[in-house]
Chains A and B, each alone.
Chain A
Amino acid sequence: MLTFVISEALSNLRRGGRVAVSAVLLITLSLAALGAFWVLSLNLGRAVGEWRDRLRIVVYLREEPPPAALGEFLQTVEAVGGVQRLRYVSKAEALRTLRQQLGGQASPVEQLPTNPLPPSVEITPSPEASTPEGTRALIQRLSALAEVEEVQGGTEWVEWLAQLQGLLQVIGLAVGAVLALAAILTVTTATTLVLHARREEMEIMRLVGASEMVIRLPLFLQGLAQGLVGAAVAVGGLGLAYRFALPTLEPLLAVTLGLPRAAFFSPAEIALLLSGGAVLGAVGGLMAKGGRAA
């Protein structure tokens, strides 16, 4: 029975001709579009995550606290709430860091009569304080401290990036959904044409007592195969595009988003795309109407 069902599905695919090929192409297009937006969103998501992790608030102080009072001052800062970690950067350490950063061009710094850099406290906000509202409130509380000259830091642009990621996801889903619908309809048409061409066989099958499952299963398998092939071509195409674009893409991502490496789909995500294609095809195959039901 299984041999019969599989051989019928293969024969349906052969008989589907150009319409069957169109269906595969449409599934490829819909999943490639969906996949492309997904990869973009995946990388933006990683950038958002990394930037959220790197988020720091720098509290510049009016003057360096005396060493005996430093511990108490840092406790005061911690007590404002929303602080996960803090690190005091003295004037001397700030100057050392500046020298290191300037490297060979540090000579003007050496000529300064006094150290102009302010002492500061670098604060890593707690997860609750990492949201735009949380960060704004933390900055307000820190600014209210008497020893504080200025507070710098914020999450606005990270949140903008997150919003862009969300927008990309929505656009990707919308384009993918429209193309997926078109793909389902094309598979349905391809299968209906096969059914029309095979109506005599279907009639005989029903007449001799074949169950509806035996009649419909080859159509389901036909759609499933079309979907799988379409999805595999889409994943393969995206993989090739990713590989070719990588040398150009990675430096760009490093400069704009600070991502050292571009990410592609994980094996689980590839399996999800392939399953998506198979489902699209199978739904198209099952929706086909033709031949007279019992």
Chain B
Amino acid sequence: MIQLSGVSKEYRVGPVKVTALADVSFGIEKGEFTVLAGPSGSGKTTLLRLLYRDEMPTEGEIRVAGYDVTRLRRSKIPQLRRAIGVVFQDAKLLPGRTVYENVAFVLRVLGAPRREMTARVMQVLKAVGLSARAQALPAQLSLGEQQRAALARALVKEPALLLADEPTGNLDEAIAEEILDLLKEIWSRGTTILLATHRATLADQLKRRTLVLHRGRLLKDED
């Protein structure tokens, strides 16, 4: 599902060269649940952004869901992204739209038939436990509910790969636990998941394969 070979990413800040990732190589099989751990600034977010081609690597090769990301033509980027769901630490919900509309927005953008839309949105809202809150605005939701809505939005297009960038970063322990349970449930249905977190305890708690990044280098890859 994911293959990185010798991937490096450098940014130029004026005359200074900052290395965000250095010679990172690993592979993730279809259906795996992998944790990408490391402290803030270790390069986790950069790595995720390389996967959905929000950034280009300075060196190396990346393959995701059958796409050669580094050689992907600009016009093909939307196709890659349709295969990937992304959730962030802040839910990034559209504030003027209800939970239902936020989720349905994805299907409308992608041109899904209107008659299928309601059923699919309600199905995914049910899966994340938000069907009763479908008509609520994001401001009326708790942080945990907002993150569930963001997950519903990422999942409604049925992606093969889910990238979760610190999805529990803003949540207290109990609610974070709920989100992790939800992620496990999503994984159990066959979705490949790459979860980035700075919480070492979370990686231990999940007991999944963990890739540890430190200062842009892959320190550990352990099951």
Binding site for B on A (CB under 8 A): 1, 3-4, 200-201, 203-212, 214, 294
Extra 15 A-B pairs, beta carbons < 8 Å, given A200-B95, A203-B92, A210-B78: A4-B108, A204-B92, A204-B105, A204-B109, A206-B81, A208-B106, A208-B109, A209-B78, A209-B80, A209-B83, A209-B157, A210-B110, A214-B109, A214-B111, A294-B53
Complex interface: chain A residues within 8 A of B105 (CB): 201, 204
Give 27 pairs: A residue, B residue, CB < 8 Å, sorted on A: A4-B108, A4-B111, A201-B94, A201-B105, A204-B92, A204-B105, A204-B109, A204-B153, A206-B78, A206-B81, A207-B52, A208-B106, A208-B110, A209-B78, A209-B79, A209-B83, A209-B84, A209-B110, A210-B109, A210-B110, A211-B75, A211-B78, A212-B78, A214-B109, A294-B54, A294-B74, A294-B77
Binding site for A on B (CB under 8 A): 52-54, 74-75, 77-84, 86, 92, 94-95, 105-106, 108-111, 114, 153, 157
Q: Give 5 closest A-B pairs by Cβ, nearest first.
A: A209-B82, A209-B81, A1-B111, A209-B78, A210-B109
Closest to B54 in A: A294
Among A201, A209, A212, A294, the one with the most B-chain Cβ atoms within 10 Å of its Cβ is A209
A207 contacts B81, CB within 8 Å? Answer: yes
Total residue contacts A-B, CB cutoff 8 A: 54
Complex interface: chain A residues within 8 A of B84 (CB): 209
Expressed in whole angstroms, the minimum distance between the Cβ of A252 and any Cβ of chain B is 57
- Determine the distance from Cα of A202 to Cα of B71 in the docked complex, in whole angstroms: 24
Complex interface: chain B residues within 8 A of A1 (CB): 111
Q: Which of B53, B54, B74, B81 contacts A208 (CB 8 A)?
A: B81
- Determine the distance from Cα of A4 to Cα of B104 in the docked complex, in whole angstroms: 11
Expressed in whole angstroms, the minimum distance between the Cβ of B162 and any Cβ of chain A is 13
Closest to A2 in B: B111
Q: Which of B54, B79, B109 contacts A205 (CB 8 A)?
A: B109
Closest to A203 in B: B92
Complex interface: chain B residues within 8 A of A210 (CB): 78, 109-110
